[in-house]
Structure 1
Amino acid sequence: MKSEILVKTALVGALVFSAGGTSVLAHDEIGGGEEKGDNLAGVELTVPLLEGSKNTGNLKEVAAVPLKEIRDGVKNSTGDVYAHKGFAYLGTHRANGGGGGVRVFDMKDPSNPVEVSVFAAIQGTWQEKVIVKTVNTKHFKGDLAAVSVQKMDQKDPNSQGGFVLYDVTNPREPKKLGFWESSSSGARGTHELYLTVQGDNVYVLTADCYADYYSHGKKMDVSIVDVSNPTNPNTIYEFNPRAYIPEVSDENYDGYNWTDEEGIQRAAFAHSVKTDGTGKTAFLSYWDLGTIMLDISDAKNPVYLGRTDFASDVQGAAHSMDLAKGGTVLVETREVFGPTREGFESAYGYTMIYDIKDKTNPELLSTFRTEFTETIPNGATVHDPKVHGNTLYLSHYSGGVRTVDITDPSSPQQTGMYIPSKANIWGVFVDRNYILASDIGSGLKVLQKTGGPNMNRMGGV
């Protein structure tokens, strides 16, 4: 049963404002926000929170496994989660000095995940995002992992940011293959990335937050890197929004600060990247520029298709995305921790669902917000989405994991949730008959659907 208790939770990112008037967001370093997982000891608040339960709504916790300490006395925090061929891959964040690498869990028994290896544990950096795919090129055949690498100290000349590639064909014995450096001086490196297979070619798409801004336009936030030979990554393209989007030019955009067509000051930088299943359409989560869509059938010469947009009173913050309905529906999550900003609606980040049959003209179908907007500040904003069939899975920090029925994308309905004690859920991933969740403070959580009643049903807004 659910019961309410009073607990203390931390608000990630105090509600302050940058000189440009942009509200602080959890990821937005330039705007004044902290990196997620840096410090959870912000403003102490006493708020009602659901007691951690082994069975909340229609999701049941079947395992909770902390990360091993790979350095004596150092506890690494957890980044995103991915699964491939019966193994779970957990990235790690920058808490306690970073260097936690990627942790690999054998998921043969989902109720008893076993950590079997660690790789990419590069000191002076952190590795929050990992994607694994099976590839077959003339240079490499097997399972390839791409891992984001960000500098702890942006000014350290001996530290490199970018991404690293590993052979994980045997997940118990990963082997390093190659490294790609994001060479923009001042930026941390690759924040998020995506590994995609397009026929005989294999590419990594990078989101190197602020590369454009710090390099004064000499380097771009998004690169397409040919990794068909993973020992020799080769950059083949960089995306410059000024060259494609009519609303963006040197006059109103400096790589971060953007003045939109209505004269509103906004922030625009690449946070996340992903492709569809064919690898031929790329989706760039570009904060206040929305989700930018590119045809990358010819990866050296992408074609701009269109982007999502926001009403003038909506804070942008396009953070992540996923596809539904065979790629005709786009689910966009927006990370907004600062709900109050003059001239805008009062709202934490929520989910927006678009019809993208015509990618040149995305049509907003619906929005989805949780019922905890005012009672769980640290969980009030949505984070990452994953779609499996007609179910949308959302990670929600202190708000845990939410399941949403999107059979009708114009009317999303919450069907379940999972909120463990001291929840701080970063990512979620659906694998076979279970759901993986990465908890920043406590490691890997494994959930299964119970098939029980929908105890927490809420419609879209």
Structure 2
Amino acid sequence: LLTRIVAAAALAAAAAVLVLPTASAQRPKTWNTSLVGHLNPGGGFTGDVWVHGGTAYLGAWGLGRRCPTHGVRAIDATNPARPRIVSRFARFPGTTSEDVWVGAVSTPSFSGDLAAVGIQRCTAPSRRFGGLALFDVTRPARPRLLARLATHSHTRGVHELSVVQRADGRVLAFVSVPHSLQATERRKGDVRVVDVSNPRRPREVADWDVRRDAPATVRRRLTQRGHSELLAHSVAPYDSGRKAFVSHWDAGTVLLGLDDPARPRYLGRTAFPPRAFGNAHSGAFNEAAPNVFVQNDEVGDFYHSGIEGAWGFQRIWDVSDPAHPVALGRVATASSVPARDGRIRHDGFYSVHNNVFVGDVEIVSWYSDGVRIVDLSDPRRPRPVGHFVPPPARDPQRFWVAPNGNHRFPLVWGVAVSGGLVYASDVNSGLWIFRSNALAGTAG
């Protein structure tokens, strides 16, 4: 297939800019990838995807009156060519379960496979449960609820989460509760640290927020941004749980020290240029170069303000010195930033969303540009090595409509890698499993 790298004039000031090749929206497109399996669970509104022990876990989205409460779908993928649903769980009425983490945990209180699910109310305030739900999924076909930990009734609940078992044996869940700081009149920050070493009795040990807890000099610099623009969208541990990064929207990615998890310590942040749109949504560290961080700046609708004038893209950072991150470059698709013709696409949503790494190969969900695969062995010269774009599909809930009125498009939310295969969740068409030549010989 013909591929091309387009130099985007609007991004030319970056240290290095990679623009990934465009794929046709007319049918599924593959480059250095091949389809293995597909499962559409029906109903649309698919959320994130996680894979553990031969089982894929699909989250579910919802908002307002469009709240189907699909819950988490546990999908047997031991035969990846024929995935099948074996159970559904975390189906709390009037809620979504879009983010899920699953892993093996061993503590004096629990030994087995633990699932942590972020539960959000479709509307808030509400008396319905919103917060962190923990399940025993040692037998994926028979998940068992272990405990729930609620957030404030005026927040929607837990938006994104991640879990780590540290060298000291403690199992910590890092969860984001967007807009918590405002909802609780500054009593609770958007970032929560929860000890789930005993998942039957989860215990919040800390809350944090850049608007309240960062050094005064940092807080003063952020006063030009509104409070709603400084929410904590996601939080995840790194350095074996000794540190965490917070995607704090227009405040950038905030790096925290966690020598004492009960007292998160500000280390630094990746700041945006003065007129940039911002929206630090998520990110991931390069496994082969642990000081290289790739930040996903999500823009869910095309905008004309700011200096980029584009959909969301990636910024690459060297965080060897957390107090002074160094910009290395950017990654974008030809649909998400103006190319030589000065245009971007409006027949879908062409922002970056989430990413994972296998070694120095990055796998990125890019909404209507599908899954993009990038070699970051040289972070100053990222190199595209593959893509997989699901076929266009209509949203069964009739919610997602492209800016130009189009109703049929790919919309890849999340990605995961296991056993050398890539698992991608498309909001409209479900789970896609494919092989990437760039991952040949890896266990994922």
**Superposed pair shares fold, TM > 0.5:** yes
Unaligned runs of 5+ in 1: 4-46, 69-74, 453-461
In structure 2, the CA distance between the partners of 1:173 and 1:48, relative to structure 1 (3 Å rule), is: closer
Corresponding residue for residue 391 of structure 1: 361
Corresponding residue for residue 196 of structure 1: 164
Corresponding residue for residue 420 of structure 2: 433
What pairs with 1:47-446 in structure 2 (closer than 5 Å)?
A: 49-53=24-28, 56-67=30-41, 75-94=43-62, 96-157=66-127, 159-183=128-152, 185-198=153-166, 199-241=168-210, 242-249=212-219, 258-259=223-224, 267-276=229-238, 278-324=240-286, 325-373=288-336, 374-376=344-346, 378-422=348-392, 423-446=410-433
The normalised TM-score by structure 1 is 0.80
Q: What is the one-letter code of the residue matched to 1:271?
A: H
Aligned with 1:337: secondary structure?
Answer: coil
Aligned with 1:223: secondary structure?
Answer: strand
Unaligned runs of 5+ in 2: 4-21, 337-343, 393-409, 440-444
CA distance in 1, matches of 2:243, 2:291: 12
CA distance in 2, matches of 1:398, 1:299: 38
Does the CA contact (< 8 Å) of 1:98 and 1:152 recur in 2? no
The normalised TM-score by structure 2 is 0.83
Q: What is the one-letter code of the residue matched to 1:295?
A: G
CA distance in 2, matches of 1:48, 1:392: 18
The higher relative CO (CA closer than 8 Å, separation ≥ 6) is in 2
- Listed one character per residue, the Cα deviations across residues 96-145 of structure 1 (whole Å, up to 9, x for unaligned) are 42321111111111111121111111111110000012111111111111
Corresponding residue for residue 11 of structure 1: none
Aligned with 2:87: secondary structure?
Answer: strand
CA distance in 2, matches of 1:342, 1:444: 35
Does the CA contact (< 8 Å) of 1:78 and 1:92 recur in 2? yes
CA distance in 2, matches of 1:438, 1:48: 18
Cα distance, 1:396 vs structure 2:
1.1
CA distance in 2, matches of 1:200, 1:450: 37
Does the CA contact (< 8 Å) of 1:285 and 1:291 recur in 2? yes
Corresponding residue for residue 27 of structure 1: none
In structure 2, the CA distance between the partners of 1:127 and 1:266, relative to structure 1 (3 Å rule), is: closer
- Percent identity of paired positions between Structure 1 and Structure 2: 33
CA distance in 1, matches of 2:177, 2:218: 19
Cα RMSD (Å): 2.3
In structure 2, the CA distance between the partners of 1:233 and 1:333, relative to structure 1 (3 Å rule), is: same
In structure 2, the CA distance between the partners of 1:451 and 1:347, relative to structure 1 (3 Å rule), is: closer
- Of residues 213-222 and 284-293 in structure 1, the stretch that sits farther from structure 2 once superposed is 213-222
Q: What is the one-letter code of the residue matched to 2:144?
A: K
Does the CA contact (< 8 Å) of 2:74 and 2:86 recur in 1? yes
Cα distance, 1:79 vs structure 2:
0.2
Q: What is the one-letter code of the residue matched to 2:41?
A: L
In structure 2, the CA distance between the partners of 1:437 and 1:376, relative to structure 1 (3 Å rule), is: farther
